[in-house]
Amino acid sequence: MTTADDLIALVRAYNPRTNEQMLRDAYAFGAEMHDGQFRHSGEPYFTHPVAVTVILAEQQMDDATLVTALLHDTIEDTKASFAEVEKLFSREIADLVDGVTKLTNLQLTSTQTKQAENFRKLFMATSRDLRVTLVKLADRLHNMRTIKSMRPEKQAQKSHETMEIFAPLAGRMGMQWMREELEDLAFRVLNPEGRNSIIRRFITLQRETGDVVQKITADMRHELDKAGVTAEVMGRAKKPYSIWRKMQEKEQSFSRLSDIYGFRIVTATEADCYRVLGAIHQRWRAVPGRFKDYISQPKSNGYRSIHTTVSGRDGKRVEVQIRTREMHEVAETGVAAHWSYKNGERVENRFAVDPVEWINKLTERLDDDQDHEEFLEAVKLEMYTDQVFCFTPKGDVIKLPRGATPIDFAYAIHTRIGSAIVGAKVDGLRVPLWTRLKNGQSVEAITAEGQTPQATWMDIAVTGRAKTAIRKSLKEEDRERFIKLGQELARVAFENVGKKATDKALRTAAKALAIESVDEMLSRLGSAEISGRYVVGAIYPDLMEKEGEVVAEHRAVVGLAPDQQHHRAACCQPVPGERIMGITFRGQGVVVHAIDCDALADYEDQPERWIDLQWQEGVHAAINGVTLDMTITNDAGVLGRICTLIGEQSANISNLKFIERKPDYYRLMMDIDVRDAEHFHRVQTALEAESNVSSIGRHRDPGLASAGRVAT
């Protein structure tokens, strides 16, 4: 483990004015608080905070961030309190440690709604002090470096979380080196065979061709010497995950993948960057469409560089990045550049852009009442995509995510223009609305009076702003349909308690619920914003308390005609409590699908067959079959304990099928009968808590969707 003296020596190398005593005090306090605690590997727990601090010291961070790293687990995992940290160190450090603790406690791998809530909290916390996130990223990096000591299922969980959230967040903050390492460490866990195959192919390639990187680097240095440009040339093979991702995106094998080598040329001045570009293009042929000038059009995180791809030695494509030393520092450290010290002084880098501005803009734009799914969608779009820059006919620059369309462009200008767009011109030529825009194009939105957003636009638009506006407009158009469905739901809900949904009863309910009109209440009821029980309970609360009768199977679904029969789709196995949609089949009645069922896409061009449905409120019988996909350890009595657990949750096992039998584990499909979504969740939670269950998930089979096959 790095000692206090070693750590201080590392810090003093870039910050001779560091508060050495504060670092020693924090080191001693952290060691005392974590005394007797151990990691999964058996090492003393305090080795972890020290390793996190070293990672941040290597980024030349300030003293407050380093002390926070040493203490980041004390408030959460030891007897230390916020007040004690504040008294011994400072309010600033106590707030930072508390911020890291709060981020650590966010459960970022739960349901999508929960994940969206946590994203919102994460960004709100980040906007207060970015160093909280820097410590958390370093914490995650060290945990991923030492992940082998965790249980396999925990490794998979942490790796998915890293790939989904922390790696893109590091990239968005400009810390590309950290993003690449986090992705590669997660890739090592999630797909070890895929990663090993890429490494094996690299070894074979090197054996056949020699050290290509060294040869191309020497060629580039020779060309720069001829051009009289002083610059540093660095080359490397790309990370296994980066290559794997390119293989998946381009659907190419390793042998056909060309640009697996990357080179960076660091110059003294901006003018030298363009001189280097000229020398490279004179010597090697540029690959069309692979040139990007991020110096004249920087990325939103401050990244500046010239990117070009050329056909190098033996025709191999190589990617070249050209930048100045200042640009390189921002590209390497990203947001950490804001806190970096050299010779005891804060370093001012004119190219560094504070990502707090991006976070603040994001949180300001997303209203508090926006639904969680929309918030998560917008956040991921902001985090996971690069940007393209397009121009209006007047020359104004519009920033958009890569893959954006004229619809996104129009909404970026104004919601009114986006809603009225009927066509677009790109560089003077008429193009379809689904055209993907590219850097530097001039775009003109063509509008028409009376045009309204179309449902198909949801599949074309990619920005959160456009999707939110389209979704809002479609909801308004659906208002009449929701009102009609709400009337039917209200009628059934009142009949369940022996009452009638008269006009006066509905007006009274709307007034009691403080809803401005009956139509508004019915619209909310039809769109599932409120429930029938909620409406009836506003007038007859006592009758609601007596509810408990089991809903008959033929009355389980609301929204069908009196003579229509319904069946649950075998592909998605919807259960009460989940949002549903019906598809009509001649001679079979209506097949009920979960709203997120992939099979619904097959009927997009047949809207006349779609029916809005709702589950009847109340207690349902445990007759709804759901298939579980489980992997369990091959030990005596495990299957018996699992069956007992399911029985204890009042669920019935209707079928059991073994898929794989291995010496150390079994994989099986188990059909269980449950009442509703909540009942199923309780069963799944109980099984997840069983130590002999390695993995568990709900099995859905799109192959069973053909010809409206129904669940048994």
| Residues 234 and 222: beta-carbon distance below 8 Å | no
Candidates 2.60.40.420, 3.40.50.1820, 1.10.468.10, 3.30.460.10; CATH matching 194-346: 3.30.460.10
Give the mean model confidence (pLDDT) for residues 439-461. 86
Range from 321-335, 474-488, 566-580 that averages highest in pLDDT: 566-580
pLDDT band with cut points at 50, 70 and 90 for residue 386: low
604-618: burial string, b at 16+ Cβ within 10 Å, e else:
eeeeeeebbbbbbbb
The pLDDT value recorded for residue 128 is 63
Measured over the CA atoms of residue 515, residue 518, residue 521 and residue 523, the dihedral's sign is: negative
Helix (H) or strand (E) holding 673: strand 665-674
Helix axes 176-190, 240-250, angle to 10 degrees: 80
Q: Read off the amino acid at residue 101.
A: T
Three-state DSSP class for residue 569: strand
Please say if the pLDDT value at position 233 is more than 80.
yes
The pLDDT value recorded for residue 185 is 92
| The CATH fold of domain 557-712 | Alpha-Beta Plaits (3.30.70)
CA distances from 634 to 638, 661, 668 (A): 7, 9, 12
Q: What is the mean pLDDT of the chain?
A: 81
Q: What is the DSSP pairing of strand 566-568 with strand 589-594?
A: parallel
End-to-end CA distance of the chain: 59
| Listed range (108-112, 324-328, 358-362, 465-469) with the worst mean pLDDT | 108-112
Alpha carbon distance 639, 633 (integer Å)? 9
By annotation, the residues acting in catalysis are 76-77
| The CATH fold of domain 4-190 | Hypothetical protein af1432 (1.10.3210)
- DSSP at 649: T
Backbone angles phi, psi at 648, to 5 degrees: -65, -25
Range from 330-344, 472-486, 590-604 that averages highest in pLDDT: 590-604
370 or 536, higher pLDDT: 536
pLDDT band with cut points at 50, 70 and 90 for residue 542: low
| Listed range (252-261, 282-291, 585-594, 669-678) with the worst mean pLDDT | 252-261
Q: Read off the amino acid at residue 248.
A: Q
- DSSP at 111: -
Helix axes 532-539, 479-496, angle to 10 degrees: 60
DSSP bridge partners of 262: 236, 319
The pLDDT value recorded for residue 84 is 92
Alpha carbon distance 274, 322 (integer Å)? 8
Q: Read off the amino acid at residue 274.
A: Y
Percentage with pLDDT > 70 across the chain: 83
Q: Which residue has the tokens 């929204």?
A: 559
Please say if the pLDDT value at position 68 is more than 70.
yes
CB atoms inside a 10 Å sphere around CB 348: 9
The pLDDT value recorded for residue 479 is 78
Please say if the pLDDT value at position 155 is more than 50.
yes
Give the mean model confidence (pLDDT) for residues 417-445. 89
pLDDT band with cut points at 50, 70 and 90 for residue 59: confident
Domain positions in the chain:
4-190, 194-346, 385-477, 478-547, 557-712
| Listed range (329-333, 513-517, 702-706) with the worst mean pLDDT | 702-706
The pLDDT value recorded for residue 142 is 93
pLDDT band with cut points at 50, 70 and 90 for residue 243: confident
Please say if the pLDDT value at position 415 is more than 80.
yes
Please say if the pLDDT value at position 189 is more than 50.
yes
pLDDT band with cut points at 50, 70 and 90 for residue 338: low
Give the mean model confidence (pLDDT) for residues 32-38. 91
CB atoms inside a 10 Å sphere around CB 153: 15
| Residues 114 and 161: beta-carbon distance below 8 Å | no
The pLDDT value recorded for residue 707 is 47
Alpha carbon distance 156, 160 (integer Å)? 6
Give the mean model confidence (pLDDT) for residues 352-375. 54
Alpha carbon distance 355, 334 (integer Å)? 9
The pLDDT value recorded for residue 278 is 92
Q: DSSP 3-state helix, strand, coil percentages of the chain (rounded to 5)? A: 50, 20, 30
| Residues 69 and 136: beta-carbon distance below 8 Å | no
Kindly report the CA angle at 195 between 191 and 201, in degrees rounded to 5? 150
DSSP H helix total and E strand total for the chain: 30, 24
Alpha carbon distance 483, 691 (integer Å)? 49
Give the mean model confidence (pLDDT) for residues 617-641. 85
Please say if the pLDDT value at position 403 is more than 60.
yes
Range from 338-352, 535-549, 679-693 that averages highest in pLDDT: 679-693
Query: What are the residues whose beta carbons fall under 8 Å from the beta carbon of 171, sequence distance 6 or more?
Result: 179, 383
CA distances from 232 to 53, 171, 264, 265 (A): 30, 24, 8, 6
CB atoms inside a 10 Å sphere around CB 360: 15
pLDDT band with cut points at 50, 70 and 90 for residue 384: very low
CA distances from 383 to 119, 164, 166, 372, 664 (A): 11, 10, 10, 16, 40
The pLDDT value recorded for residue 297 is 81
In 544-648 the beta strands, taken as DSSP E runs, fall at 550-551, 557-558, 566-568, 580-585, 589-594, 610-615, 619-620, 624-633
Alpha carbon distance 420, 422 (integer Å)? 6
Give the mean model confidence (pLDDT) for residues 84-103. 87
Please say if the pLDDT value at position 360 is more than 70.
no
What CATH number was assigned to the domain covering residues 385-477?
Answer: 3.10.20.30
Alpha carbon distance 157, 160 (integer Å)? 5
Please say if the pLDDT value at position 374 is more than 80.
no
- What tens digit of pLDDT does each residue of 573-600 get? 999 988 898 998 877 789 999 888 888 8
Helix (H), strand (E), coil (C) string for 118-179: HHHHHHHHHHHCCHHHHHHHHHHHHHHHCHHHCCHHHHHHHHHHHHHHHHHHHHHCCCHHHH
Range from 284-288, 411-415, 475-479, 490-494 that averages highest in pLDDT: 411-415
Please say if the pLDDT value at position 321 is more than 90.
yes
| Residues 582 and 530: beta-carbon distance below 8 Å | no
User: How many residues belong to the chain?
Assistant: 712
- What tens digit of pLDDT does each residue of 601-626 get? 888 778 788 888 888 877 787 788 99
Please say if the pLDDT value at position 249 is more than 70.
no
pLDDT band with cut points at 50, 70 and 90 for residue 113: very low
| Residues 520 and 481: beta-carbon distance below 8 Å | no
Alpha carbon distance 499, 490 (integer Å)? 11
Alpha carbon distance 426, 443 (integer Å)? 5
Helix (H) or strand (E) holding 104: helix 91-104
- What tens digit of pLDDT does each residue of 511-522 get? 888 888 998 889
Q: Which of 142, 162, 178 has the alpha carbon at shortest distance from 59?
A: 178
